[in-house]
Amino acid sequence: MGARHTCSRRVLLAALAIPVTAAAVGGGSRRRPAREEHYFPRHGSYGHHTLAYHLELDYDPRGHRLDGRARIEATANGAIDSVELDLAKLTVDEVLLDDRPVPFRHRDGKLRITADRTLEPGRPFTLDVRYGGRPRPVHSPYGPIGWDRTGDEHDGTLVASQPVGAPSWFPCNDRPDDKAAYTFEVTVPAGYDALANGSLVDHREADGSARWTYHHPGPMACYLAALYTGRFHRETWTEEDISGAPVPVHVACPAGAVDRVRHDLARQGRILRLYTDLFGPYPFESYGVTVVDAELSAPVENQTLSVFGRNHMDGRRGWETLVAHETAHQWFGNSVSLADWQHIWLNEGFATYAEWLWSEHLGEDDADTLARRSRTDLTARRQNLRIADPGRRHLFDDRVYVRGACALHALRLAVGDEPFFRVLRTWHETRRGGSADTPGFLTHARRVVARDVEGVLAPWLYEKRVPEFRR
Ligand SMILES: [Zn+2]
């Protein structure tokens, strides 16, 4: 997400409202955490891997009621007798395992399903979860996240789940590294639109209802799954419409915002083209921006379909930095995603550096100017962060964003432009569709440039003191 701007509720929470604890910022002189701790230990299961989610969702915007059927294809990681999913406050009516009803218990956000046999490792199985209720955002250290309502009449919906909001609307294995294919069959009243990740493969209206079917081969982490319903003006921009976009760009917004959105996104194609040139081929079948009829604290980079608030489209490109930021996440954050949340700088530092590259491309402040200015700002802060493990409370702290981008700039200064961009391109190329961690990036960079870069990167990532830029 583009949460480093001061209007972000997440930033305010992280920077002001929550006391900085010794545990969060670490202590002593150790450079690396002794062991990895999950920031959200109650979320996700390591017992199985999800192959595909097929979500049939029937949403009534008048009663705010969602009736769902989630068909989940998965394999066991080892021999298991039960399967654990994450699902927040919705009610589960029935669970089938390979089409046979099985017992389950749904409590405190966990859906525990008892298998009628031992599930063998590597053997696919299918779960059918029938559920429903009135979806609501879930509480998180960063405020309410997940499913929410939009529009003055509250008849629209959005999803902004990062990091653990996906269980607000469907049963899932809520880990950033459990990536799957998705199909969404969404039924809403006729006249309402539904938008989801990937491509629209079917749309039909009958008996006062509209069914919208989308498919995204992914693979995609569940926190990046998105659904927007309501009344939208929709456009698809092709390469001819917007200079050089490598894929179709689907734009949806409230009817009253069309002119502002067209103006503010007019350079979206150039942004996609620049990042394709710098980072390698765009990783998915399409890109999209949905502007919802609500004010959002920050946009979110849902896979193939970023979401912005109406407040982010001011008709003056006042938020174009974030348009660039969310676009870059399609490579870094979505296509290459996180092995676990502590490595968040691999998302946010990269996307922030991509903002600086866009500025440089426009002939405005170049990345060196922006990095040195950011370093000065960081130095003035009383507290600094070890961003390779910032602590759950600081996950979306602006220091993770800026210091992460500075780390990349330090690498660029140390190795030169050509090797630096080769590191970024091959990082995406070799991890596309997978997930990654900080030690993996250090190893990768060292291999690509054939020299030790730990001395350049480690002080930015593992220490609190703000390093100097070396040239
Ligand atoms: Zn971001």
Query: How many whole angstroms from 79 Cα to the centroid of ligand 1?
Result: 37
> 178 CA distance to ligand 1 centroid (A)?
20
Cα(57) to centroid of ligand 1, in Å?
Answer: 28
Residue 172 shares a structural domain with residue 248? yes
pLDDT for the residue 33: 44
Q: Is the CA virtual torsion 195, 198, 204, 209 positive or negative?
A: negative
Q: Which is more confidently placed, 388 or 32?
A: 388
Of 306, 329, 352, which residue sits at a domain end?
A: 329
Ligand 1 centroid, distance to 35 Cα (angstroms): 26
**Cα–ligand 1 centroid distance for 320 (angstroms):** 13
Cα 347 to middle of ligand 1, angstroms: 6
Quick one: 282 and 342 in the same domain?
Answer: no
Distance 114 CA to ligand 1 centre (A): 38
In a domain, 150, yes or no: yes
Q: What percent of the chain has pLDDT over 70?
A: 92
Ligand 1 geometric centre to CA of 355 (Å): 10
How many domains does the structure of the chain reveal?
2
pLDDT value of residue 92: 98
Residue 225 has pLDDT above 70, yes or no: yes
The sheet with strand 156-160 has its strands ordered as 146-150, 156-160, 227-230, 193-196
Q: Any idea which of 2-6, 103-107, 407-411 has the lowest mean pLDDT?
A: 2-6
For 160-172, the pLDDT digits (tens) are: 999 999 999 999 9
- Ligand 1 centroid vs 333 CA: distance in angstroms? 8
- Whether residues 313 and 343 fall in one domain: no
| pLDDT (average), residues 405-419 | 98
Distance 44 CA to ligand 1 centre (A): 22
Closest by CA to 453, choosing from 422, 410, 417, 424, is: 410
Q: Are 402 and 377 in contact (CB under 8 A)?
A: yes
314/374 same-domain check? no
Q: Write the CATH number for 434.
A: 1.10.390.10
Q: What is the CATH number of the domain that holds 234?
A: 2.60.40.1730
Instruction: Look at residue 244 in the predicted model and tell me its pLDDT.
Output: 76
Cα(345) to ligand 1 centroid in Å equals: 9
- Per-residue pLDDT, 243: 67
Would 446 be classed as within a structural domain? yes
pLDDT tens digit string along 179-198? 999 999 999 999 999 999 99
Alpha carbon of 301 to ligand 1 centroid (Å): 7
pLDDT score recorded for residue 28: 31
Min mean pLDDT across 151-155, 222-226, 263-267 is at 151-155
Q: Ligand 1 center to residue 327 CA distance, Å?
A: 9
Residue 1's pLDDT band (boundaries 50, 70, 90)? low
pLDDT at 18: 28
Asked if the model's pLDDT at residue 2 lies above 90, the reply is no
Does residue 6 register a pLDDT over 60? no
- What integer is the mean pLDDT of 346-356? 98
User: Considering only CA atoms, which of 333, 355, 448 is closest in space to residue 406?
Assistant: 355
**Judgement on whether residues 21 and 160 belong to the same structural domain of the protein:** no
Q: Are 100 and 112 in contact (CB under 8 A)?
A: no
Strand partners, 206: 209
CA of residue 303 to ligand 1 center, whole Å: 12
Same domain, 173 and 202: yes
**Residue 380: inside a domain:** yes
* DSSP code, position 14: I
Measure the CA–CA gap between 423 and 411, rounded to whole angstroms: 10
Range in 101-110, 378-387, 435-444 with the lowest mean pLDDT: 378-387
Judge if 355 and 451 occupy the same domain: yes
Residue with the bigger pLDDT between 310 and 10: it is: 310
**204 and 306 in a common domain:** yes
CA of 326 to the centre of ligand 1 (A): 6
| Interval 431-440 mean pLDDT | 97
245 and 359: one domain? Answer: no
pLDDT at residue 69 is higher than 50: yes
CB under 8 Å to 143, separation ≥6 — which residues?
9, 10, 13, 297
Beta strands in 134-178 (DSSP E): 146-150, 156-160
Three-class SS state of 276: helix
* Residue spans of beta strands (DSSP E) within 385-468: 435-436
pLDDT band at 36 (very low <50, low <70, confident <90, very high): low
CA–centroid distance, 119 to ligand 1, in Å, is 38
Q: Is 13 helix (H, G, I), strand (E, B) or coil?
A: helix
Distance 155 CA to ligand 1 centre (A): 28
Q: How far apart are CA 250 and CA 270, in angstroms?
A: 15
Question: E strand or H helix at 184, and its extent?
Answer: strand 179-189
- Is 174 contained in some domain? yes
Measured in Å, residue 3 CA sits from the centre of ligand 1 at: 6
* pLDDT at residue 277 is higher than 50: yes
Do residues 317 and 378 both lie within one domain? no
Has residue 313 got a pLDDT over 70?
A: yes
pLDDT at 466 over 70: yes
Q: Which of 270, 299, 329 is the last residue of a domain?
A: 329
176 and 337 in contact (C-beta within 8 Å)? Answer: yes
- Distance of alpha carbon 425 from alpha carbon 421, whole angstroms: 6
The answer as to whether 239 is a domain residue is yes
C-alpha 278/C-alpha 293 separation (Å) is 33
Separation of CA 112 and ligand 1 centre (Å) = 33
Q: What is the mean pLDDT of residues 439-464?
A: 96
Query: How far is ligand 1, taken at its centre, from the CA of residue 298, in Å?
Result: 9
Residue 238: what pLDDT? Answer: 85
Ligand 1 centre distance from Cα of residue 363 (Å): 23
Tally the C-alpha atoms within 13 A of residue 162's C-alpha that lie toward its C-beta: 28
With a cut of 80, say whether residue 318 has pLDDT above it.
yes
State in Å: Cα 105 to ligand 1 middle: 36
- The residue among 185, 191, 194, 131 whose CA lies nearest residue 159 is 194
Does 35 map to a domain? no
Taking the centre of ligand 1 as the mean of its atom positions, its distance from the CA of residue 351, in whole angstroms, is 6
Total length of the chain: 471
Residues 70 and 219 in one domain: yes
Expressed in angstroms and rounded, the spacing between residue 350 Cα and the centre of ligand 1 is 9
CA 337 to centroid of ligand 1, rounded, Å: 12
pLDDT digits (tens, 9 = 90+) for 71-83: 999 999 999 999 9
In a domain, 469, yes or no: no
Taking the centre of ligand 1 as the mean of its atom positions, its distance from the CA of residue 7, in whole angstroms, is 14
Of 314, 329, 344, which one is at a domain's C-terminal end? 329
**What is the four-CA torsion angle of 210, 223, 322, 215, rounded to 10 degrees?**
-40
Alpha-carbon distance values, 254 to 177, 190, 229, 313, 319 (Å): 34, 17, 11, 11, 18
Span from the CA of 41 to the centroid of ligand 1 (angstroms): 23
Residue 346 Cα to ligand 1 midpoint, Å, equals 10
358 and 322 in a common domain:
no
**Is 1 domain-assigned?**
no
First to last CA, the chain: 31
Amino acid identity of residue 306, one-letter, is S
State yes or no: pLDDT of 11 exceeds 70: no
Q: Is the pLDDT of residue 239 over 90?
A: no
- In this prediction, residue 382 carries a pLDDT of 78
Range of the domain at 370: 9-30+336-462
Give the pLDDT score at 152: 85
10 Cα: distance to centroid of ligand 1 (angstroms): 12
Q: SS3 letters for 77-115?
A: CCCEEEEEEECCCCEEEEEEECCEECCEEEECCEEEEEE
Task: Say if residue 10's pLDDT is above 60.
Answer: no
Cα(37) to ligand 1 centroid in Å equals 22
**Separation of 299 CA from ligand 1 center, angstroms?**
8
The pLDDT of residue 26? 31
- Residue 112: phi and psi, rounded to 5, are -100, 120
